[in-house]
Structure 1
Amino acid sequence: MEGPDAIAFAQSQFASQVTALANHRWQFSSWLDAQGRVRNVFHLVQLSEERLLMILRGGDATIFVDALRRFVFRSRVKLSILEGSLAGDVAMSLHDVEVQDDVIRFGCGSHSMLFGANVNSDNTWQLEQLREGWPWLPSAVLNELLPPALSLHRLGAVAIDKGCYPGQEIVARLHYRGGNKRHLHHVALSKPVDDGALLQRENSEFVRLLNVIADAERIEALAVISDEVAGRFGQNDKQNLSDEGIDVQLLNTWPA
């Protein structure tokens, strides 16, 4: 996204505090629909005062840009897609950004990520980010979940103290009046399943999985679970078992 109105346009559409970004810094951000459901989550990078880069955490870039373009109207903004891959790299301070030639490196604390057309893609960073509770949204869950269920306020991907943006009223209502009954969890699974799978128990929703990663030791995933269901975990082994025969163990839970 680039142009004289790029930052103002992003501020009006995205749920994070875009105007707080400085050059060569990044923040978590999100784009919501009018009902407050999460369309996309992404890293928002400010490359200059007139140029922003969004690195999607799930979803299709073409669909995202086409949908966002409908709201440009008279704003002096150009939206385009950059082809590139992601790879892990050495530690770098959280939210810092470095640009060298056509490669963008952004800091994630214990590691960094590289993005560029000539970057050799790898997944070395994925498990570490999963364990930090950084959601990656499979296509199956786009436009389905509210920000508190993904712990987006904790990450700064939604802001309460800014002007209007799509879904802002729902975000504020959930924050000030409560009502959120689903939270983000780190879980271990007894069997591999697809990203975005919906596990059921007694023919009702049990666990909505986000990204699922298997390593040498176990299968781990981020999951959205209702507070009622999560409260029954550990009472006995049967309470952890889905109708599909998958045992789910809670490892960590994050606030809204």
Structure 2
Amino acid sequence: MTAAPASPPEDTPLSPALSGAVPLADWGLIRARGADAVTFLQGQLTNELASAGATQARLAGYCSPKGRLLASFVAWQASGAEDWLLACSADVLPPTLKRLSMFVMRAQCKLSQADDVALWGLVGAAAQQWLGTDLAAPAWGVSRVKDAQVVRLPDVDGTVRCLWAGPADQAPAQLPALSPQAWQVLEVRSGVARIVAATSEAFVPQMVNFELVGGVNFKKGCYPGQEVVARSQYRGTLKRRGALLATQAPMQAGQEIFLASEPEQPAGQIALAASADGQGWEAFAEVKRAALAGELHLGSAQGPALQVRALPYAVPQDEA
């Protein structure tokens, strides 16, 4: 563990009553439609989609030939086996859509930005009551409510989360308003990286624990960067991992992290960050595993001290 800051931020508990809905303005949707949609996506993404069917979503990455994540997706069937939606960060959507489109070639698959679909984040009991469906299903399950799809995300500290994607006139606007900051804190604490413009091409999937949260299938076959990702997995020397960090100072994706004893080079990089309701800032970051036992600082070796928090899932300890 790192040395604690002089006045360390308290671990801000989530309110058990945290409940409501928020339009996800910093997310966007790509639609893949056609007879070859699944086949095309299978050859481009880190996860296997063919077996997902209509009842499961998949977390997946899109990598460069060097195995670095250009974007990350939550992907699921929309209206059938030939119609898929891929939710990603809005700021990486245009370049990602352009790049993917370059490789469609003769495949019967049309890619487009799904501007006709509204995307909301739903949280807690109010969401479950409004949906009229059981949200106790495992993470990444997909249910259908009227003309919308509801994707169950991993819980955070016992708080239910899901994505709602559907027509704007059916959106859950009447639910209690959830602040974007509250949703972002949940996203950070989940330990599931969403690649944004500031971190595009910064991480091999394992650097942000992507395979630990179901984002990589090592048996699915080839995709861009597959050899690098596989080599990182099986050579047994994963020197960087995702970690949860906290401090009182503002943080943002792309900021570098430094170890006090090694001021000349960064020890990691922020992947996602959020303000915890005036109680400091929290981040999910890529960090050198060896550095987690030292004093970590934001921005420089003299910057604000960072405190390491526990992840909601286990990280293998015998791989470094």
Match of 2:296 in 1: 240
2:77 paired with 1:39: no
Q: Are 1:210 and 2:233 matched, yes or no?
A: no
Between the aligned partners of 1:73 and 1:26, the Cα distance in structure 2 is 26
2:240 is the counterpart of 1:182: yes
- What are the Cα deviations for residues 180-208 of structure 1, in whole angstroms up to 9, with x where unaligned? 21100011112012222123451310331
Return the letter of the residue paired with 1:62.
Answer: P
TM-score, normalization by structure 1: 0.89
The alignment's TM-score, normalised by the length of structure 2, stands at 0.72
Q: Does 1:79 align with 2:135?
A: no
- Report the counterpart of residue 223 of structure 1 in structure 2: 285
**Mean Cα displacement is larger for which, 33-42 or 208-217?**
208-217
DSSP-derived class of the 2:71 partner: strand
Aligned partner of residue 43 in structure 2, secondary structure: helix
2:37 corresponds to: 6
1:115 equivalenced with 2:165 (yes/no): yes
Cα deviation code 1:21-73 (max 9, x no counterpart): 11142111111111111111110112211111100046422211111001101
- For 1:49, the equivalent position in structure 2 comes to 81
Q: Identical aligned pairs, as a percentage?
A: 22
Distance 2:46 2:91 in 1: 17
Counterpart-to-counterpart distance in 2, 1:79 and 1:168 = 22
24-33 or 89-98, larger mean C-alpha shift: 89-98
Q: Which has the higher contact order (CA 8 A, sep 6+)?
A: 2
- The aligned residue for residue 97 of structure 1 is 142
Number of aligned residue pairs: give it.
250
Q: Tell me, yes or no, if structure 1 residue 255 matches structure 2 residue 287.
A: no
Query: Does residue 27 in structure 1 map to residue 86 in structure 2?
Result: no
Query: For the Cα contact (< 8 Å) 2:70–2:195, is it kept in 1?
Result: no
1:132 to 173, 190, 211: 190
* RMSD across aligned positions (CA): 2.1
Query: Does the CA contact (< 8 Å) of 1:36 and 1:146 recur in 2?
Result: yes
Q: Distance in 1 between matches of 2:82 and 2:107?
A: 12
2:164 maps to amino acid: L
Counterparts of 1:147-162 in structure 2, within 5 Å, are 147-162=205-220
Structure 2 contact 184–273 (Cα < 8 Å) conserved: no
Q: Does 1:62 align with 2:94?
A: yes
